[in-house]
Chain A
Amino acid sequence: MQSSWVPFVPPSASTLSGKVDALYFYLSGVTIFFTLLISGVLIFFVIKYRRRNPYEIPRPVAGSLKLETLWSVIPFIIAMTMFAWGAQIFFEQSRPPSNAVEVYVVGKQWMWKIQHTTGQREINELHVPVGRKIKLVMGTEDVIHDFFIPAFRIKADVVPGRYTTLWFEATKAGRYHLFCAEYCGMNHSGMIGSVVVMEPKDFDEWLSGSSSQQSPAIAGQQIYETLGCASCHGPTGEGGRGPALAGVFGRQVFLNNGQNIKADEAYIRESVVNPQAKLVAGFGPIMPTFQGQVSEEQLMQILAFIKSLQNQTPEPVRAASPMPAPSGMPSVAPSVAPPPAATPGTDR
Chain B
Amino acid sequence: METFVPPVPSRINYINAQYGLKSWLLTKDHKRIALLYLGSISFFFFIGGLYAMAIRLELLTPQADLLQSATYNKVFTQHGIIMVFFFLIPSIPATLGNFLVPMMIGAKDLAFPRINLLSWYIYLLGGIVTIYALLAGGVDTGWTFYTPFSTTFSNSYVVATGLGIFINGFSSILTGLNFIVTIHTMRAPGMTWFRLPLFIWAHYATSLIMILGTPVIAITILLLAFERVAHIGIFDPAVGGDPVLFQHLFWFYSHPAVYIMVLPGMGIISELIANFSRKNIFGYSFVAFSSLAIAVFGFLVWGHHLFVASQSVYAGMIFSFLSFAVAIPSAIKVFNWTATLYKGSISYDTPMLYALGFIGLFTIGGMTGLFLAALAVDVHVSDTYFVVAHFHYIMVGGTLLAYLGGLHYWWPKITGRMYPEGWGKFSALVVFIGFNLTFLPQFLLGYMGMPRRYHVYPAEFQVLHVLSTAGASILGVGLLIPLVYLMWSMRYGRIAPGNPWNLPGLEWRTQSPPPTENFDYTPVVTWEAYEFAPPEETEVVGKFQDKVPEKA
Contacts and interface: CB of A to CB of B under 8 A. Distances in A.
A75 B455 CA distance: 38
7 contacts: A10-B447, A52-B345, A56-B345, A61-B539, A79-B328, A85-B376, A159-B243
B551 to A, nearest CB: 10
Given A184-B149, A185-B149, A82 B449 contact: no
B377 A38 contact: no
Nearest to A187: B69
Interface string A2-24: 00000011100000000110011
Contact of B331 (A19, A24, A71, A190): A71
B545 interface: yes
A50 B346 contact: yes
B321 interface: yes
A170 B548 CA distance: 62
Interface in A97-126: 109
B148 A49 contact: no
Interface in A39-82: 39, 41-42, 45-46, 49-52, 56-68, 70-72, 75-76, 79-80, 82
A27 B377 contact: yes
A164 interface: yes
A268 interface: no
Given A19-B376, A39-B360, A86-B377, A63 B286 contact: yes
A192 B503 CA distance: 58
Interface string B360-397: 10011001101101111111101110000000000000
A186 B70 contact: yes
B128 to A, nearest CB: 27
A10 B539 contact: no
A31 B367 contact: yes
A259 B224 CA distance: 33
Given A79-B370, A83-B324, A90 B457 contact: no
Contacts of A67: 283, 335, 339, 544
B269 to A, nearest CB: 12
A93 interface: yes
Contacts of A262: none
B379 A75 contact: no
Interface stretch (A145-153, A211-219, A223-231, A326-334): A145-153
B149 A155 contact: no
B310 A164 contact: yes
Given A72-B332, A148-B451, A49 B310 contact: no
B1 interface: yes
B242 interface: yes
Contact of A59 (B146, B343, B371): B343
Contacts of B452: 181, 183
A87 interface: yes
Given A45-B341, A58-B532, A160 B148 contact: yes
A150 B308 contact: no
A45 B376 contact: no
Contacts of B328: 72, 75-76, 79
Given A63-B284, A86-B375, A57 B1 contact: yes
A241 interface: no
A30 interface: yes
Contacts of B346: 45-46, 49-51
A79 to B, nearest CB: 4
Contacts of A20: 376-377, 379-380
A71 B332 contact: yes
B341 A66 contact: no
B375 A89 contact: yes
Contacts of A68: 283, 286, 332, 336
Q: Which 10 A-B pairs have the closest CB atoms?
A: A161-B237, A150-B449, A86-B374, A90-B375, A89-B376, A189-B454, A45-B341, A31-B367, A181-B383, A79-B324
A1 B308 CA distance: 26
B546 A62 contact: yes
A132 B325 CA distance: 38
Of B285, B320, B346, B532, most buried by chain A (CB within 10 Å of CB) is B346
Nearest to A180: B451
B363 A39 contact: yes
Contacts of A71: 331-332, 335
B113 interface: no
Contacts of A251: none
Given A144-B146, A148-B449, A190-B69, A64 B383 contact: no
B9 interface: no
Given A9-B447, A38-B334, A60-B279, A155 B69 contact: no
B338 A45 contact: yes
Contacts of A185: 73, 140, 149, 153-154
B402 to A, nearest CB: 16
Interface string A252-288: 0000000000000000000001100000000000000
Contact of B548 (A56, A62, A80, A82): A62
A183 B283 contact: no
Contacts of A61: 279-280, 282, 339, 342-343, 538-539, 541
A292 to B, nearest CB: 8
B17 interface: no
B71 to A, nearest CB: 10
Nearest to B77: A183
Contacts of B338: 38, 41-42, 45
Contacts of B238: 160-161, 273, 291-292
